[in-house]
Amino acid sequence: MALPKIDLPIYELELPSNGKKVKYRPFTVKEEKILLVAKESEDNNHVITSIKQIVNNCLIDCNVDDLALFDLEYILITIRSKSVDSIVSFEITDPETEEKIPLELDLSNVKVEKDKDHTNQIKISDEYIMFLKYPSIDDFFNLITDKNTSAEKNYNIMITCIDKIVSEDDVFNLKDFSKKEIDEFVEGLSSDVTIKMKKFFDTIPKVRHEIQYKNSKGEDKIFVIQGTQSFFI
């Protein structure tokens, strides 16, 4: 007789990037083992591969490759909160006194911060509007492993995040064009457009949470947790 297969509860969350609802299940022992190994690894490639594998396993109706990086981080935190415990206890070192400070984080309180001035639509002429898409975890990994200069890295991520160019009559999906064609198009844009694109990246939504504490001198301090850091503490 085979061992019984245990049914797992199915939950639903709303993606911060677009409000779409996706279903997910909590971790199994398999995912917890992947997480444990990822925590101990100092290899960025291994960590990112593990994150993608965990989320892909737990999502019911969504592809991890289609997710913005901050969507993925939010899903990770939400799944962990439902799977293990929403309360995480950990220690930090105060940068001034170098003492160990015990802190507690309620994962259910970690949200995606959104800038009210953020937009993914940029008017590039009286006729055309450029739509930008959010970087994925693969885009982020490619950025940190890119051997080019900072300027070249910024240019490459900018190109990657151009989704489409739209007018009243036409839609040009950038995925349908060669890199050479895209480079020529971008090089012909005004400097005002690149400034607006920079603002898109500067104001991009982020998973962020602040914890207040006092050090031994009685000084009020704030410890900031951001991105995947809130999942691996």
DSSP code for 59 = B
What pLDDT shows up at residue 228?
67
Give Cα separations from 14 to 112, 116, 174 (angstroms): 11, 19, 27
Per-residue model confidence as pLDDT tens digits over 53-80 = 989 999 998 888 889 999 999 999 899 8
Contacts 24+ apart (CB under 8 A), 48-56: 48/137, 48/138, 48/140, 48/141, 51/76, 51/137, 51/228, 51/231, 52/137, 54/27, 54/79, 55/79
Low-confidence ranges of the chain (pLDDT < 50): none
Given 3-state DSSP classes, what are the helix, strand and coil percentages for the chain, each rounded to the nearest 5? 40, 25, 35
What pLDDT shows up at residue 150?
75
Sheet holding 220-226, edge to edge: 111-113, 206-214, 220-226
For 96-161, list the strands marked E by DSSP: 100-106, 111-113, 121-123, 129-132
| Sign of the alpha-carbon torsion through 15, 222, 105, 140 | positive
| Residue-wise DSSP of 82-100 | HHT-SEEEEEEE-TTT--E
| Sign of the alpha-carbon torsion through 162, 164, 165, 168 | negative
pTM: 0.85
Q: Is 123 helix (H, G, I), strand (E, B) or coil?
A: strand
